[in-house]
C-alpha cells in the first residue's frame, strides 16, 4: 500500500494535535504508512496545494478560521485539484450543507473522537488506495488489438516495438505479439518516461537498454535494435546519465 499523505488544517493547535494523535493511532492499528503535515492557515494550505496538486491525498480542514475559512479554502483547492479528499472539521452541523458544494467526503464534529475519525479516515484511505491501484494498473497494462480480439499486455515485459507496415510487433521477454495498430497509436498508450523512439520504425523500453552504439542499441541476450542518426545523441546522453546515477548509488551504498 502506498504511503498516504494527509494535511490537517486548523487555526487552533489543540484541535490539530488531537487529530494528528488519532491519525497516528489509526496508522499503527491498521498498519498503514501515513505522513501528516500541519497547517494553521487555510491560505498556507491552499498555496501548498497550488504548488503541488498531488501533494496530499486527504485533507482534514477546519471550517471556522479567521480571514480565510475552510469552505473558501476548499473551493480554492477544488479549482486546482479534483482528486484530493476533503473532510471538514466543524463545531456546527450547518456546514454539512456547504460541504457538498466542494465535494467533501464527510464532516467531523468537534471535539473529534477517535471512533468518528477512524470511520471517516477508513473510508478516505480505501478511496485513496483504490485510485492508486487503478492508476498503477493503467500504467502497467495496455490493451492491444490482435486479429479480431484484444489482448492485455504487461508493459514491463515489452523490450521494444517494431513497425511493420500498418501493424506493429511487440517484442516481449516471453513472446512476440503482432497487433493491428500503428506504431504512433501504440506510442500514445505508453509511458513516455520509459518508452522512447530510437528510430522511425522502433520504440524501445529505455530500461532494457544495456549498450548504445552509433547505429544500434543492445538489450542483452543478443537482441539488437536499429538506432537512427537523428536519435543517437539524445539516447546516448540519457543512457550515460543512467549509468552515472547507478554508479553514484553504488558508492553511497
- pLDDT tens digits for 73-91? 999 999 999 999 999 998 8
List Cβ neighbours of 240 (8 Å cut-off, separation of 6 or more): none
Looking at the structure, tell me whether residues 59 and 179 fall in a common domain: no
| Residue 79 parent element (H or E) | helix 70-80
Of how many residues is the chain composed? 253
Among the three residues 96, 111, 138, which one is the final residue of a domain in this structure? 138
pLDDT given for residue 100 in this prediction: 57
- Beta bridge partners, 203, equal 161, 197
- Considering the domain architecture, whether residues 90 and 163 belong to the same structural domain is answered as no
Whether the CB-CB separation of 153 and 140 falls below 8 Å is answered with no
* Band (92; pLDDT cuts 50, 70, 90): confident
pLDDT, position 140? 84
Do 211 and 229 share a domain, yes or no?
yes
d(CA 129, CA 126): 5
Model pLDDT for residues 28-73, shown as the tens digit of each residue: 998 899 999 999 999 999 999 999 988 999 999 999 888 888 989 9
Count other Cβ atoms within 10 Å, centred on residue 80: 13
Mean per-residue pLDDT, 6-30: 96
Residues 213 and 92 in one domain: no
Judge if 186 and 109 occupy the same domain. Answer: no
Q: How far is Cα 232 from Cα 73, in angstroms, rounded to an integer?
A: 49
Res 133 pLDDT > 80 = yes
Give the helix/strand (H/E) hosting 76. Answer: helix 70-80
Specify whether the CB–CB gap between 49 and 77 falls below 8 A.
yes
pLDDT in tens, 224-245: 999 999 999 999 999 999 999 8
Residue 139 has pLDDT above 60, yes or no: yes
Instruction: Confirm if 221 and 160 have CB atoms less than 8 A apart.
Output: no
Kindly state the cell numbers that stand for 71: 469552505
Please give the average per-residue pLDDT across 146-160, as a whole number. 88
Is the separation of the CB atoms in 26 and 32 below 8 Å?
Answer: yes
What is the C-alpha separation between 164 and 72, in angstroms, rounded? 56
Averaged pLDDT for residues 5-16: 96
Domain harbouring 245, CATH code: 2.40.50.1020
1-15, 33-47, 141-155, 231-245: which has the minimum mean pLDDT? 141-155
Count of domains observed in the chain: 2
Same structural domain, 239 and 184: yes
Alpha-helix residue ranges (DSSP H) falling in the chain: 13-30, 42-51, 70-80, 95-100, 114-140, 183-187, 229-252
| pLDDT number for residue 13 | 94
**CA–CA distance, 30 with 7 (Å, rounded to integer):** 19
State if pTM tops 0.75: no
Last residue of a domain, one of 95, 115, 138: 138
**20 and 92 part of one domain:** yes
* One domain, residues 112 and 24: yes
Asked if 243 and 162 sit in the same domain, the reply is yes
The 3-state DSSP class for residue 96 equals helix
190 and 132 in a single domain? The answer is: no
Out of 86, 109, 138, a domain closes at: 138
Q: Which of the four pLDDT bands, split at 50, 70 and 90, describes residue 205? A: very high
Band (pLDDT 50/70/90 cuts) for residue 127 is: very high
Residue 1: all three cell numbers together: 500500500
> Are 113 and 199 in a shared domain?
no
Does 30 share its domain with 121?
yes
Give residue 94's domain range. 4-138
Amino acid at each position: 500500500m502506498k504511503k498516504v499523505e494527509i494535511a490537517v488544517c486548523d487555526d487552533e493547535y489543540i484541535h490539530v494535535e488531537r487529530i494528528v494523535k488519532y491519525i497516528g493511532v489509526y496508522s499503527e492499528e491498521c498498519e498503514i504508512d501515513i505522513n501528516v503535515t500541519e497547517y494553521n492557515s487555510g491560505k498556507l494550505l491552499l498555496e501548498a496545494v497550488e504548488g503541488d496538486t498531488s501533494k496530499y491525498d486527504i485533507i482534514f480542514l477546519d471550517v471556522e478560521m479567521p480571514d480565510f475559512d475552510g469552505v473558501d479554502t476548499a473551493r480554492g483547492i477544488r479549482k486546482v485539484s479534483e482528486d484530493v479528499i476533503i473532510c471538514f472539521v466543524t463545531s456546527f452541523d450547518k456546514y454539512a450543507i456547504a460541504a457538498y458544494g466542494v465535494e467533501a467526503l464527510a464532516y467531523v464534529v468537534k471535539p473529534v473522537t477517535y471512533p468518528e475519525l477512524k470511520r471517516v479516515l477508513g473510508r478516505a484511505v480505501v478511496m485513496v488506495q483504490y485510485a492508486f491501484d487503478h492508476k498503477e494498473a493503467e500504467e502497467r497494462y495496455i490493451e492491444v488489438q490482435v486479429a479480431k480480439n484484444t489482448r492485455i499486455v504487461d508493459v514491463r515485459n515489452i523490450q521494444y516495438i517494431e513497425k511493420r507496415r500498418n501493424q506493429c510487433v511487440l517484442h516481449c521477454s516471453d513472446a512476440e505479439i503482432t497487433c493491428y495498430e500503428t506504431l504512433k497509436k501504440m506510442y500514445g498508450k505508453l509511458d513516455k518516461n520509459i518508452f522512447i523512439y530510437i528510430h522511425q520504425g522502433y520504440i524501445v523500453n529505455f530500461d532494457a537498454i544495456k549498450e548504445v552504439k552509433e547505429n544500434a542499441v543492445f538489450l542483452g541476450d543478443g537482441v539488437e535494435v536499429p538506432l537512427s542518426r537523428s536519435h543517437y545523441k539524445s539516447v546516448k546522453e540519457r543512457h550515460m546519465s543512467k549509468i552515472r546515477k547507478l554508479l553514484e548509488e553504488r558508492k553511497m551504498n
